[in-house]
């Protein structure tokens, strides 16, 4: 196993690595600076798009016209050719202290993303599903900081966490209706070093990978919730993970250059870098696209 800096862009709050299996390009975002990045598998040809608000996550569209992005004030469409950003729906017009955060696409093309309290204190957030016809459904409530949505390989178990709960949750997921029910604790998160559960992905073997933000570790959980493997990273503020590359065997890891609140720790010169981990002997799953 080897860990390398793939792109040193010093993202203020790097998040959401997303591998496009069709074009063989890697996308990631800077949540605080409102920017979407794209690069080749070896970190070249870096391109960026600006969006008008803080961004929590993105999903590529099946129509090839761009992406759906969860911005501070709702779901938007981003056109890669023109750079135009268009509002789809704001599910929380009455929650000015919230913003939309992490999200991913299920096997039927829905974009599932949650909201968070910007001070990461109040349980004001919720979990939403944006259907392919742009209808928004609320799946869960009472969340401080939505993070880590992902699914088991068969799509029937949905994983999610409220970052500061100290738990990763599993739900029964109905692919036909998009309903998430029977929430239970999948794994307890080791917060003894000040870390918390951030972005997650599931590999081809059905194991869940989670970035322990502020603790500088990646944890691989077995399907029964037990800890299978821990990887120490060169920075403390790792934020999210995703497998990519032509063989889906490279683990991409985002990080932040500046903590969102003053109580969180800083990092060294590698802060905000996009990392790539090679030779793990593990492959990921192709990420789904939004749309029918």
pLDDT tens digits for range 137-195: 999 999 999 999 999 999 999 999 999 899 999 999 999 999 999 999 999 998 888 89
Q: Which of 30, 102, 162, 198 is catalytic?
A: 198
Structure tokens given for 190: 């080791």
Find out whether 84 is annotated in a ligand binding site.
Answer: no
pLDDT tens digits for range 76-119: 999 999 999 999 999 999 999 999 999 999 999 999 999 999 98
Find out whether 94 is annotated in a ligand binding site.
Answer: no
Indicate the fold that domain 2-278 takes in CATH: Neuraminidase (2.120.10)
**2 has a pLDDT exceeding 80:** yes
User: Catalytic annotation on 198?
Assistant: yes
Sign of torsion over alpha carbons 136, 139, 141, 146: negative
Nearest to 15 by CA among 41, 34, 43: 34
28 vs 244: CA distance, rounded Å: 12
Find out whether 98 is annotated in a ligand binding site.
Answer: no
- State the Cα angle at 272 between 129 and 190, rounded to 5°: 65
Q: What per-residue confidence (pLDDT) applies to 260? A: 75
Q: How far apart are the first and last CA of the chain?
A: 38
**Distant-in-sequence, close-in-space partners of 64: CB < 8 Å, separation ≥ 6:** none
């Amino acid at each position: 196993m080897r860990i390398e800096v793939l792109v040193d862009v010093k993202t203020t709050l790097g998040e959401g690595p997303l591998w496009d299996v069709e074009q063989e390009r890697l996308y990631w975002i800077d949540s605080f600076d409102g920017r979407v990045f794209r690069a080749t598998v070896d970190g070249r040809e870096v391109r960026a798009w600006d969006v008008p608000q803080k961004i929590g996550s993105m999903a590529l569209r099946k129509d090839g016209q761009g992406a759906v992005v969860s911005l501070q004030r709702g779901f938007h469409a981003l056109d890669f050719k023109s750079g135009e950003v268009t509002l789809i729906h704001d599910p929380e017009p009455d929650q000015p202290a919230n913003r939309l955060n992490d999200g991913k696409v299920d096997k039927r093309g829905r974009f599932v993303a949650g909201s968070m309290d910007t001070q990461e204190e109040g349980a004001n957030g919720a979990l939403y599903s944006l259907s392919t016809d742009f209808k928004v459904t609320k799946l869960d409530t009472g969340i401080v900081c939505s993070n880590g949505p992902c699914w088991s390989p068969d799509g029937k178990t949905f994983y999610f966490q409220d970052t500061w709960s100290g738990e990763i949750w599993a739900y029964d997921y109905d692919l036909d209706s998009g309903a998430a029910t029977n929430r239970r604790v999948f794994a307890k998160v080791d917060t003894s070093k000040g870390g918390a559960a951030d972005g997650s992905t599931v590999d081809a073997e059905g194991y869940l990978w989670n970035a322990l933000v502020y603790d500088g570790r990646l944890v691989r959980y077995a399907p029964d919730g037990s800890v299978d493997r821990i990887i120490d990273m060169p920075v403390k503020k790792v934020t999210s993970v995703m497998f990519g590359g032509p063989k889906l065997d490279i683990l991409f890891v985002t990080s932040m250059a500046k903590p969102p609140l003053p109580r969180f720790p800083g990092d060294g010169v590698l802060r905000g870098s996009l990392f790539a981990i090679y030779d793990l002997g593990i492959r990921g799953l192709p990420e789904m696209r939004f749309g029918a």
